[in-house]
Amino acid sequence: MQEHMYEPAGLMFARCGAHEKALSAFLTCGNWKQALCVAAQLNFTKDQLVGLGRTLAGKLVEQRKHIDAAMVLEESAQDYEEAVLLLLEGAAWEEALRLVYKYNRLDIIETNVKPSILEAQKNYMAFLDSQTATFSRHKKRLLVVRELKEQAQQAGLDDEVLHGQESDLFSETSSVVSGSEMSGKYSHSNSRISARSSKNRRKAERKKHSLKEGSPLEDLALLEALSEVVQNTENLKDEVYHILKVLFLFEFDEQGRELQKAFEDTLQLMERSLPEIWTLTYQQNSATPVLGPNSTANSIMASYQQQKTSVPVLDAELFIPPKINRRTQWKLSLLD
């Protein structure tokens, strides 16, 4: 049975009174609330509930649902200490503190909470350093690849040479007629992607986008990698905001300011670079085939008009710059 079918199956079993099968299905899909409901209907003993709680918690951790896992451990297994550790592992700092104060275990703050926060700060710093280095390296290489392509186009190289050097952007949707037949006519036999095969087509395209220097689709691979770096960094905002709060709370101001500045610098670097990487001119040039030294502006434009409706969906998406949302709250003014 496919993963996404276990929950509907569990609901059907529960509705029919097949509680054992329902419990098994809910365990598999990680629906801990329904699993505990079924366990109550099966009159589980205290020990059985403890075992069930630990099993559920393990499943939830695999799904990166640390808060839910901690809640199950606290309520079903009566193990708040392990629950706190899971919350720290999942960077749920404030929820971990809530349990610490609820059970009056302030010693855990010194033994586990503070060390976890400081370790997480170091990990974020290392990650941001890695992201910045990767972004700068890919950006630099992309500019080199584009310059090589532009030089080749200006030199009037035929399409086959361009194909082997840097181009081949749309090999799936356009094949240039070489030699004496080079006239700007392109094959559109593969220009339409059916709904049935689009997912497999996307996977196949991604495999062709190699970051290896000199590969045919290196520029697309670099765009894809750069977009991924930006998106991964953007997605950190909520996490960074929460750790900044607890860093300030426990008077780790130096570490908090260090992280806040590093994150801000990284975001600014990427935001400044977006117009340079995702330029309209490059998008148009990439979609416009080179027809040779005898091409005219009109012939190139006509060829572009033919091609623009047949750009592969995946490739077209790569020319859309990732978004950096300035409105997202992540900075802590107390650390300014």
225 Cβ contact list (under 8 Å, min separation 6) = 134, 138, 211
C-alpha distance from residue 144 to each of 138, 149, 214, 219, 274 (Å): 10, 9, 11, 10, 16
Is 160 part of a structural domain of the chain?
no
**Structural domain harbouring 60:** 5-105
| 138 and 276 assigned to the same domain | yes
**For helices 114-154 and 237-249, what crossing angle results, to 10°?**
150
> 176: which strand partners?
186
Whole-angstrom distance, CA of residue 226 vs CA of residue 232: 10
| 281 and 144 assigned to the same domain | yes
pLDDT given for residue 314 in this prediction: 55
Helix (H) / strand (E) containing 234 = helix 218-234
| 133 and 83 assigned to the same domain | no
pLDDT given for residue 280 in this prediction: 64
For the record, the structure tokens of 204 come out as 């196949």
Per-residue pLDDT of the chain (336 residues; tens, 9 = 90+): 566 799 999 999 999 999 999 999 999 999 999 999 999 999 999 999 999 999 999 999 999 999 999 999 999 999 999 999 999 999 999 999 999 999 999 999 999 999 999 999 999 999 999 999 999 999 999 999 999 988 888 886 544 455 554 444 434 333 333 443 443 433 343 333 344 345 445 544 555 578 888 888 889 999 999 999 999 999 999 999 999 999 999 999 999 999 999 999 999 999 999 999 998 655 555 554 444 444 555 554 544 444 443 445 557 788 889 999 999 999 999 998
| 95 and 227 assigned to the same domain | no
For the four alpha carbons of 72, 75, 80 and 82, in that order, the dihedral sign comes to negative
3-state secondary structure of 235: coil
| 141 and 94 assigned to the same domain | no
Whole-angstrom distance, CA of residue 39 vs CA of residue 55: 13
Counting the structural domains of the chain, the total is 2
Is 183 part of a structural domain of the chain?
no
Is 189 part of a structural domain of the chain?
no
| 99 and 121 assigned to the same domain | no
For the record, the structure tokens of 80 come out as 């708040």
